[in-house]
Chain A
């Protein structure tokens, strides 16, 4: 019996459950990229809609994609979808109002 215990380090009686680390107390643990990109995407899509700038709308689409790629699984998909839809609508609206192709800045 003792030999078995010594050889086997496992102790089912000493099991502790997993507790996800509390990110409120330690904000450095969290990666801020998805939140920043989300915000940036919304800002650019609003710019694109209001100022009728096509390139703003396209950048907004990119931002929402980047935000999605970096997001955590625990994050709400609704937020992602809403920012994505907003950026797509910005692109569509820009082209409906002005079907001319985008001109490069150079």
Chain B
């Protein structure tokens, strides 16, 4: 170890610039170099090199002036020159005594020379930071994709609106509304909900309350989504939801669409699962392609909806149609039942729901939006048609019975829950009244309120008794 220290110090000691290092090294024991001072000619501490012995004596006074050091150097040199002549003698003298076994240790000393690695962050190279560079590149790629995807979606939405604007403006008095402005004026533009969802509300037409069009594009702005879509292709969708007034539609539930979509909707949708219990029928029976299937409350409804024009629309655009759902009991997808939550039937609204797939399977161009125009024509046609479609007497009776049945089932299911809820409500009322009586300052009023409460209780009991008597009489 001492030898190694000397090795390090010697090159440093030579250069007067490395003053600071020399000072650090001066911390080493003087005794370490005392050895070398005595043997002023310097034994070959390092058998390999000459300079180290020369520099060694200069290392001790290195903490002093530069001058002194240089002087010492020269002295060292002188000494060395002197020593040169007697080289052989000296070495031979030491070889025996002092360097016994030295040669043995020397090779091992060479082998145990450890090169310490300079920590990566002190190296002057960017290469060691390649992980960081990768990360930053990834982030930049994400940002680039965000901008490109956002722009693409925006262009697609605008293209859709441009091609449909005329049709919508000729059919609706209000085209475009975000609900925030005071006056009901057409904004004439799409309402951006997200970077991939655009809304358009149209209203002011016969036969319907309003129409909400949602352009549900793919999440092109999210790189993760883009990568996921490489595994599982998906397509942009246009969803049209027409809400109707009560007089605009008769009572029926009907759906037609791709087989997959129908199977899914029958499980998911509240009204389809309750009213259209049968498995979806193949569309081939009604003249539409095999790929479409039909869910219907009753045959009459299907016959009524599937007239020639509708069949023509469905046949020519079958690949673009995901689902078409007409319902007077529409309440959306089934809500997960929580404990004691659904005490009322979910609110229903007469609705026509259309879901269209944009052709291109993700690789859509703005031109593809024009191909959706006939589908919008179909929507308008459907609105008018549903207004005129009326069930005959039999059909109406059947429909009413169905609805009554569904309601009854629901009430049965929630019977116990409703009872409990009613009980708790009654108890709450009693407690509130009692509290009021207790809080009443005036003792007179208190007495009067108590009496009133008692009278009410009496009346209730009497009523109950009467009812029981009546039931008994009827039973008899």
Contact = CB atoms under 8 A, between A and B. Distances in A.
Interface of A: 8-20, 25-26, 28, 58, 61-62, 65-66, 69-74, 99-104
Contact of A26 (B135, B221, B335): B335
Interface in B192-251: 192-195, 201, 203-207, 209-210, 212, 219, 221-224
B177 interface: yes
Contacts of A12: 173-174, 204
B138 interface: yes
A79 B204 CA distance: 38
Contact of B205 (A11, A65, A73): A11
Which 8 interchain pairs have the tightest Cβ spacing? Answer: A18-B201, A18-B179, A15-B204, A99-B121, A102-B131, A12-B173, A18-B177, A101-B129
B26 to A, nearest CB: 31
A69 B143 CA distance: 9
B75 to A, nearest CB: 46
Contacts of A102: 131-132, 135
Interface of B: 119-121, 128-132, 135, 138-139, 142-143, 146, 170-174, 177-179, 184, 191-195, 201, 203-207, 209-210, 212, 219, 221-224, 332-333, 335, 384
A10 B333 contact: no
Contacts of B138: 62
Contacts of A101: 120-121, 128-132
A12 B186 CA distance: 11
Given A101-B121, A101-B132, A103-B131, A16 B209 contact: yes
A9 B212 CA distance: 17
A61 B204 contact: no
B120 A100 contact: yes
Contact residues of A: prevailing secondary structure: loop
A96 to B, nearest CB: 12
Contacts of A14: 173, 203-206, 209
B171 A10 contact: yes
Contact residues of B: prevailing secondary structure: mixed
A9 B332 CA distance: 28
A102 to B, nearest CB: 4
Contacts of B204: 10-16
A28 B170 CA distance: 34
Contacts of A13: 204
B135 A58 contact: yes
B142 A62 contact: yes
B206 A11 contact: yes
B205 A9 contact: yes
A74 B223 CA distance: 22
Contacts of B203: 14-18
Given A14-B206, A74-B193, A99-B121, A69 B146 contact: yes
Given A17-B203, A25-B335, A69-B195, 17 more contacts: A11-B173, A11-B205, A16-B209, A17-B177, A17-B179, A18-B177, A18-B178, A61-B135, A61-B139, A65-B143, A69-B219, A69-B222, A70-B195, A71-B194, A73-B192, A99-B121, A103-B131
Nearest to A25: B335
B222 A16 contact: no
Contacts of B139: 61-62, 65
Nearest to A65: B142
Given A10-B173, A16-B203, A28 B333 contact: yes
B332 A104 contact: no
Contact of B332 (A26, A66, A69, A70): A26
Contacts of A8: 170
Contacts of B178: 18
A19 B179 contact: yes
Contact of A70 (B130, B206, B219): B219
Contacts of B333: 26, 28
Nearest to B205: A9
